[in-house]
């Protein structure tokens, strides 16, 4: 049987009037047929494990959707979700889609500046977070007219600017009629890495879920199979956690494990895989490299059936380690926030080559083209491009038609990545065509970090590049010209690192800082990052 006959049909995705609602297919239909079937299996910080059924998920989502409506949230309004993996996060997603509103996931570890940009840029009207998150965003109140309410998980009773999530849900009806959304109706904004300027919001339609299904099925060796159970250490705020794991699994009725540790521990991960009998995992490459350092992994009894990874090539050595220790031949996939899950390997079907990031997923056309959109000869380096239209691509950047237009050349959506194609249709990743830094599975833009550093009184000029690293692929390195009166010191380095941690996010702070006398600039005052990369390679 051909692979295209073994994955979900995408018929109807290109009919913008075709009815389709993510909450209906991921929650309601399962709640109607098998209400007691587990949807979310949550491991709490105290070690307890709680199973939440599809019936429970639907009831909670209906109640929350009613509360949103009572607060004035309507079709097309933007609602933020800043929660860790858990039932409340899944519930909030379902409630937003039921209402016909637009979900805006926010990484729990974002700093204030990163949150404020997304709140302001999206025109967010309400936000769902926890006590820690509410404390972090409290300065937003009064500064953003659109943001009128905040639901706080764990708040015992409402107070100024805050509603108790639990109280609001408990007070509402369990019945709710979904807004009749269509394939092309907006559902989701996920922000990209900021390469030039601030991160841009990729606006996705309801159909984006359908676009991800074939890639998930291929990368997880014909997912779903009997007794499958999915988990990822990636936050559900990222496209990898949300659309490669949570939503596709719920679509297929497969339970999703919810567990997000405060700090990554390879030993704890092995224990989790064993204790919760996890069968399917999406691991960022850096997580696999950290797992590989664990001594005596054979002490854990694993039941893995599939492991998928994306973001960089795993290489033959890591693939062999996975087969020996995890007991599976791992698959690689490729995509980005604007258009995800377009390339994948599928080891169980013999579709895999070491160093390649996969072949085109059924339903997609991927090519390597020159700057004019013409295919380059086999084996030559060019731009990895995806034919448009396709079910996974964004509707466009939120309120940024200029940047949207720049993303396309002719019929091709240009990924910004360089690669080459072999005679069998396998694509090999060569590198970024811009300044995005790939670190520990995250794509990090230099511009927000530079802006954050410039807010520190000691910094006159700042430039950020990626420095090669054996574990993280790259680390963030900052070059800084100090203001007069400031001297370089280890203490100042630590202070600047903490400044970025608080302002942006823990994964974006510069792990290395080098002070320089003069910044390489163009005649128009732009930073010449290429000169800094050359300086780094000469070091």
Residues 6+ apart with CB under 8 A from 159: none
Q: Tokens 């530079």 correspond to what residue?
A: 450
Cα 317 from chain centre: 26
* Closest listed residue to residue 172, CA positions, set 280, 116, 91: 91
User: Residue range 170-177: average pLDDT?
Assistant: 98
Structure-token pair, residue 259: 């567990």
Q: Domain limits of the chain? A: 437-538
- pLDDT digits 0-9 by tens, 473-486: 899 999 999 988 99
Q: Please tell me the predicted confidence (pLDDT) of residue 528.
A: 76
Q: Are 463 and 519 in contact (CB under 8 A)?
A: yes
Q: What is the mean pLDDT of residues 207-216?
A: 97
Q: What is the pLDDT of residues 393-413, one digit of tens each?
A: 999 999 999 999 999 999 999
Indicate the pairing of strand 186-191 with strand 201-205. antiparallel
Q: Pairing mode, if any, of strands 201-205 and 396-397?
A: antiparallel
| Among the listed residues 492, 486, 490, 510, the one whose alpha carbon sits nearest the alpha carbon of residue 500 | 510
The predicted-structure confidence for 423-476, as pLDDT tens digits, reads as follows 999 998 876 666 778 888 787 878 678 878 988 999 988 889 999 898 888 999
Instruction: Please state the length of the chain.
Output: 539
Please provide the distance, in angstroms rounded to a whole number, between the alpha carbons at the two ends of the chain.
Answer: 54
> Across the chain, how many H-helices and E-strands are there?
17, 27
Degrees to nearest 5, angle at CA 491 with 488 and 496:
80
Q: Which of 67-76, 154-163, 271-280, 477-486 has the lowest mean pLDDT?
A: 154-163
- Do 440 and 286 form a contact (C-beta atoms < 8 A)? yes
Given 3.30.300.30, 3.30.1360.30, 2.40.30.10, 3.40.50.720, which CATH number is that of 437-538?
A: 3.30.300.30
Rg (CA), the chain: 23
Hey, which of 43-47, 254-258, 289-293, 456-460 has the most confident mean pLDDT?
254-258
Res 43: pLDDT: 96
Q: Are 37 and 53 in contact (CB under 8 A)?
A: yes
Predicted local distance difference test score (pLDDT) of residue 88: 98
Q: Is 7 in contact with 362 (CB distance < 8 Å)?
A: yes
For residues 149 and 538, the model is more confident at: 149
Q: Which residues contact 274 (CB under 8 A, 6 or more apart)?
A: 300, 301, 302, 303
Mean pLDDT of the chain: 91
Task: Indicate left, alpha or beta for 315 from its phi (over 0: left) and psi (-120 to 50: alpha).
Answer: left
What's the confidence (pLDDT) of residue 524? Answer: 41
The pTM of the full predicted model, rounded to 2 decimals, is 0.85
């Amino acid at each position: 049987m051909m692979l295209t006959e073994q994955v979900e049909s995408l018929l109807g995705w290109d009919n913008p009037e075709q009815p389709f609602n993510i909450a209906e297919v991921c929650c309601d239909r399962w709640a109607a047929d098998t209400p007691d079937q587990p949807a979310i299996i949550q491991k709490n910080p105290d070690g307890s494990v709680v199973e939440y059924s599809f019936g429970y998920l639907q009831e909670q989502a209906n109640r929350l959707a009613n509360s949103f409506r009572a607060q004035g949230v309507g079709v097309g309004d933007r609602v933020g979700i800043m929660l860790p993996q858990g039932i409340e996060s899944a519930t909030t997603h379902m409630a937003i889609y039921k209402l016909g509103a637009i979900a805006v996931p926010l990484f729990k570890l974002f700093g204030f500046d990163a949150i404020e940009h997304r709140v302001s840029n999206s025109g967010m009207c309400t936000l769902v977070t926890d006590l820690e998150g509410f404390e972090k965003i409290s300065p937003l109140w009064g500064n953003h007219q659109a943001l009128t309410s905040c639901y706080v998980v764990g708040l015992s009773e409402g107070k100024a600017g805050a509603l108790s999530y639990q109280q609001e849900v408990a007070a509402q009806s369990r019945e709710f009629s979904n807004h009749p959304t269509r394939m092309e109706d907006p559902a989701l904004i996920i922000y990209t890495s900021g390469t030039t300027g601030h991160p841009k919001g990729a606006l996705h339609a309801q159909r984006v879920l359908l676009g991800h299904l074939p890639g998930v099925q291929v990368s997880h060796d014909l997912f779903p199979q009997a007794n499958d159970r999915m988990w990822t250490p990636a936050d559900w705020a990222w496209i990898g956690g949300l659309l490669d794991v949570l939503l596709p699994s719920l679509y297929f009725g497969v339970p999703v494990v919810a567990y997000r540790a405060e700090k990554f521990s390879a030993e704890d991960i092995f224990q989790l895989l064993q204790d919760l009998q996890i069968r399917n995992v999406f691991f960022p490459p850096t997580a696999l490299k950290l797992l590989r350092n664990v001594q005596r992994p054979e002490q854990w009894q694993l039941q893995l059936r599939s492991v998928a990874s994306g973001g960089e090539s795993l290489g033959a050595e890591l693939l062999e380690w996975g087969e020996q220790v995890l007991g599976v031949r791992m698959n690689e996939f490729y995509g980005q926030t604007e258009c995800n899950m377009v390339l994948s390997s599928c080891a169980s079907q013999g579709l895999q080559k070491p160093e390649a990031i996969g072949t085109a997923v059924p339903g997609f056309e991927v090519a390597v083209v020159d700057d004019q959109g013409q295919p380059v000869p086999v084996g030559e380096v060019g731009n990895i491009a995806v034919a448009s239209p396709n079910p996974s691509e964004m509707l466009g950047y939120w309120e940024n038609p200029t940047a949207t237009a720049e993303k396309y050349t002719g019929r091709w959506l240009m990924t910004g990545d360089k690669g080459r194609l072999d005679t069998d249709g396998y694509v090999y990743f060569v590198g970024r065509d811009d300044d995005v830094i790939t670190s520990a599975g995250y794509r990090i833009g230099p511009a927000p970090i530079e802006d954050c550093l410039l807010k520190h009184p000691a910094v006159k000029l700042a430039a950020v590049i990626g420095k090669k690293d054996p574990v993280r692929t790259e680390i963030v390195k900052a070059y800084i010209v100090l203001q007069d009166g400031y001297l370089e010191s280890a203490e100042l380095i630590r202070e600047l690192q903490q400044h970025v941690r608080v302002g942006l996010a823990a994964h974006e702070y510069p792990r290395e800082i080098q002070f320089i006398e003069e910044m390489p600039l163009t005649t128009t005052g732009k930073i010449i990052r290429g000169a800094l990369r050359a300086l780094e390679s000469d070091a």
